Amino acid sequence: MSVLYENAAVKIEIHPSEIPWLKIFTQHPYKEMSEVPQEIKNEIYRLLDIIEREMIAYYAPDKINIASFGNYLPHVHWHIMTRFAQDSYFPEPMWGTKQREAVLQLPSFEVFCDRLARVLKG
Protein backbone atom coordinates (compact mmCIF):
# COMPACT_ATOMS: atom_id res chain seq x y z
CA MET A 1 0.00 0.00 0.00
CA SER A 2 1.12 3.49 -0.75
CA VAL A 3 1.16 5.98 2.13
CA LEU A 4 -0.38 9.33 1.22
CA TYR A 5 0.11 11.06 4.58
CA GLU A 6 1.24 10.25 8.09
CA ASN A 7 1.93 11.82 11.44
CA ALA A 8 2.72 10.41 14.90
CA ALA A 9 -0.88 9.26 15.44
CA VAL A 10 -2.12 7.95 12.08
CA LYS A 11 -1.29 7.22 8.46
CA ILE A 12 -3.44 7.41 5.34
CA GLU A 13 -2.96 4.71 2.73
CA ILE A 14 -4.20 4.41 -0.83
CA HIS A 15 -6.27 1.29 -1.48
CA PRO A 16 -6.05 0.13 -5.13
CA SER A 17 -9.56 0.02 -6.58
CA GLU A 18 -11.74 1.16 -9.47
CA ILE A 19 -13.08 3.86 -7.13
CA PRO A 20 -11.15 6.45 -5.10
CA TRP A 21 -10.51 4.62 -1.80
CA LEU A 22 -8.35 5.64 1.14
CA LYS A 23 -7.75 4.06 4.54
CA ILE A 24 -6.78 5.72 7.81
CA PHE A 25 -4.76 3.52 10.22
CA THR A 26 -3.64 4.27 13.74
CA GLN A 27 0.15 4.08 14.02
CA HIS A 28 -0.20 1.90 17.12
CA PRO A 29 -2.15 -1.32 16.46
CA TYR A 30 -5.17 -0.75 18.71
CA LYS A 31 -7.70 -3.55 18.32
CA GLU A 32 -10.86 -1.56 19.14
CA MET A 33 -11.80 2.10 18.79
CA SER A 34 -12.55 2.23 22.54
CA GLU A 35 -8.83 1.59 23.18
CA VAL A 36 -7.72 4.60 21.12
CA PRO A 37 -6.75 7.68 23.17
CA GLN A 38 -9.14 10.62 22.74
CA GLU A 39 -6.59 12.85 20.99
CA ILE A 40 -6.03 10.16 18.32
CA LYS A 41 -9.79 9.67 17.94
CA ASN A 42 -10.08 13.42 17.38
CA GLU A 43 -7.36 13.23 14.72
CA ILE A 44 -9.12 10.34 12.96
CA TYR A 45 -12.44 12.21 12.88
CA ARG A 46 -10.70 15.39 11.68
CA LEU A 47 -9.11 13.48 8.81
CA LEU A 48 -12.34 11.64 7.94
CA ASP A 49 -14.08 15.01 7.65
CA ILE A 50 -11.34 16.53 5.47
CA ILE A 51 -11.14 13.50 3.17
CA GLU A 52 -14.92 13.29 2.76
CA ARG A 53 -15.19 17.00 1.96
CA GLU A 54 -12.33 16.82 -0.56
CA MET A 55 -13.79 13.72 -2.24
CA ILE A 56 -17.18 15.41 -2.58
CA ALA A 57 -15.66 18.61 -3.95
CA TYR A 58 -13.40 16.84 -6.46
CA TYR A 59 -15.52 13.88 -7.61
CA ALA A 60 -19.16 14.92 -6.96
CA PRO A 61 -19.97 11.28 -6.10
CA ASP A 62 -23.36 9.73 -5.54
CA LYS A 63 -22.28 8.72 -2.02
CA ILE A 64 -19.29 8.52 0.29
CA ASN A 65 -18.92 5.27 2.23
CA ILE A 66 -17.01 5.28 5.51
CA ALA A 67 -16.49 1.96 7.26
CA SER A 68 -14.46 0.39 10.04
CA PHE A 69 -14.45 -3.38 10.38
CA GLY A 70 -11.07 -4.90 11.23
CA ASN A 71 -12.27 -8.51 11.26
CA TYR A 72 -9.37 -9.81 9.18
CA LEU A 73 -6.94 -7.15 10.34
CA PRO A 74 -7.60 -6.41 14.03
CA HIS A 75 -5.97 -2.97 13.86
CA VAL A 76 -8.18 0.12 14.05
CA HIS A 77 -8.62 1.53 10.57
CA TRP A 78 -11.25 3.35 8.53
CA HIS A 79 -12.12 2.99 4.83
CA ILE A 80 -13.24 6.10 2.94
CA MET A 81 -14.69 5.28 -0.49
CA THR A 82 -16.08 7.50 -3.21
CA ARG A 83 -19.12 5.72 -4.66
CA PHE A 84 -20.88 6.14 -7.98
CA ALA A 85 -24.19 4.67 -9.13
CA GLN A 86 -22.35 3.13 -12.10
CA ASP A 87 -19.43 1.53 -10.17
CA SER A 88 -19.20 -2.27 -10.25
CA TYR A 89 -20.80 -2.86 -6.85
CA PHE A 90 -23.19 0.05 -6.23
CA PRO A 91 -25.49 0.03 -4.28
CA GLU A 92 -23.78 -2.93 -2.60
CA PRO A 93 -20.70 -2.33 -0.43
CA MET A 94 -17.39 -2.85 -2.20
CA TRP A 95 -17.17 -6.22 -0.40
CA GLY A 96 -20.65 -7.20 -1.60
CA THR A 97 -21.99 -8.82 -4.73
CA LYS A 98 -20.74 -7.35 -7.97
CA GLN A 99 -23.64 -5.75 -9.84
CA ARG A 100 -22.08 -5.01 -13.24
CA GLU A 101 -18.84 -4.60 -15.18
CA ALA A 102 -17.97 -0.93 -14.94
CA VAL A 103 -15.41 1.34 -16.53
CA LEU A 104 -15.58 4.65 -14.73
CA GLN A 105 -14.39 7.84 -16.36
CA LEU A 106 -13.28 9.78 -13.28
CA PRO A 107 -11.02 12.76 -12.75
CA SER A 108 -7.42 11.79 -12.01
CA PHE A 109 -6.91 9.99 -8.69
CA GLU A 110 -3.26 11.08 -8.70
CA VAL A 111 -4.27 14.73 -8.97
CA PHE A 112 -6.80 14.19 -6.18
CA CYS A 113 -4.14 12.61 -3.94
CA ASP A 114 -1.70 15.48 -4.60
CA ARG A 115 -4.45 17.99 -3.80
CA LEU A 116 -5.46 16.13 -0.62
CA ALA A 117 -1.85 15.80 0.55
CA ARG A 118 -1.43 19.58 0.24
CA VAL A 119 -4.61 20.19 2.25
CA LEU A 120 -3.53 17.72 4.95
CA LYS A 121 -0.08 19.28 5.27
CA GLY A 122 -1.92 22.59 5.74
Report the pLDDT value the prediction gives residue 72, as an integer from 0 to 100. Answer: 78
Distances (CA, A) of 98 to 15, 25, 89, 95: 18, 27, 5, 8
Domain definitions of the chain by residue range: 2-121
pLDDT digits (tens, 9 = 90+) for 20-65: 999 999 999 999 999 999 999 999 999 999 999 999 999 999 999 9
pLDDT digits (tens, 9 = 90+) for 60-116: 999 999 999 877 778 999 999 999 999 999 999 999 999 999 999 999 999 999 999
Give the pTM.
0.95
Q: Considering only CA atoms, which of 11, 15, 112 is closest in space to residue 65?
A: 15
Q: What is the DSSP string of 19-48?
A: S-EEEEEESS--SSGGGS-HHHHHHHHHHH
From the DSSP assignment, how many helices (H) and strands (E) are in the chain? 2, 5
Report the pLDDT value the prediction gives residue 73, as an integer from 0 to 100. Answer: 76
Can you name the CATH fold of 2-121? HIT family, subunit A (3.30.428)
Q: What's the mean per-residue pLDDT of the chain?
A: 96
